[in-house]
Amino acid sequence: MMLLQAVSLPTDTLSAMAPPATSMSLLDILVQGGWIMIPIGLLSLLTIYLIVERLITVQRAKIDPRQIMDRVRDYVEAGDIRGALAYCEAQDKPITRILRRGLERLGRPISEIRDAVEAAGKYEAFELEKRMDILASIAGIAPMLGFLGTVTGMIEAFQQIQNLQGNVNPSVLAGGIWEALLTTAFGLVVGILALFGHNFLLTRINRLVNDMERSATDFIDLLQEPVPRPRRQPETLL
C-alpha cells in the first residue's frame, strides 16, 4: 500500500506541474496558418458577397409567369397595346422585359418579333448567370490554395527537423503539422461554401430561365393565333 502511494505521488506532481491548456481565438488560429490564409480569407469574403448578391437578384426576378401571360393576353386580345406595355414596364421583371421587346415590335413580321424576343431572353439569362463563373472558380481554387499552404508548411517543419539534426520535441513537431493543416481545413470550408452556393443559385436561375423561355413561346403563339371574326347575322326577308 505504501508502495502504491509512493508511485502515485510523482504522477500527481507531474500533473500539477503540467502547463494548463491554452485556448486560442479564431484570429490566433488564422495567424498560425501563415500568409496563405490571406488569399483564402479574401476568397471567403468574396464568396459570401457573391452568394448574397446573386440571391437578392434571383429573388427580385421571381414572378408568376402564368399571371403575367394572362394579363398580357387580355391586353393584346382587347387591342390595348399601350396598356400591355405600361403593365410590363410597371412590373420590371426579366419576363416582362422580354415581353415588352416583343410588344414594341408589333406590326412587323413575326420572324423579327421572334428574333427580338430571343435576343432579350439571352440578355436576361446572361444577367441572371453573371458572376456565377467566379463562384465556380472559387470552389476549385480555395481548396488548392489550402493544399499549397499545407505543403509549404510541411516543408518548413521538415527543414526545422533537419536543422535540429533530429533532436526535436514531438510536441513541437505536432504543432508544426497542425499549423500546416489549418490552410487545408479553411480552404475546404471556403470551397464547399462556394460549391454549395453555386449549385443552389444555378438551380434557381435555371427555373427562371425556363419560365422566361415558356413565356416567350406563349407570347409568340399568342401573336400567331387567328383573330376571331364576329358572326354574321342572318339576313331577314322583308
Burial classification of residue 150, based on how many CB atoms lie within 10 Å of its CB (0-12 exposed, 13-18 middle, 19 or more buried): buried
Residue 140, C-beta contacts closer than 8 angstroms, at least 6 positions apart: 191
| pLDDT value, residue 169 | 66
Residue 10 inside a domain? The answer is no
When pLDDT is averaged across residues 158-178 and rounded to a whole number, the result is: 68
Residue 21 inside a domain? The answer is no
Residue 12 inside a domain? The answer is no
Give dist(CA 64, CA 143) in Å, integer: 39
| pLDDT value, residue 63 | 87
Q: Is the pLDDT of residue 163 over 80?
A: no
Residue 9 inside a domain? The answer is no
> Based on the structure, what is the number of domains in the chain?
1
Residue 194 inside a domain? The answer is yes
Residues 201 and 55: beta-carbon distance below 8 Å: yes
Terminal CA-to-CA distance of the chain, rounded, Å?
137
Residue 235 inside a domain? The answer is no
| pLDDT value, residue 230 | 47
Residue 236 inside a domain? The answer is no
Summarize pLDDT for 54-83 with one digit per residue, the tens: 999 999 998 888 999 989 998 888 888 899
Domain that holds residue 71: 31-224
Query: Please, what is the angle between helix 110-129 and helix 37-61, to 10°?
Result: 140
Structure pTM?
0.75
69 or 158, higher pLDDT: 69
Range of lowest pLDDT (136-145, 163-172, 181-190, 207-216): 163-172
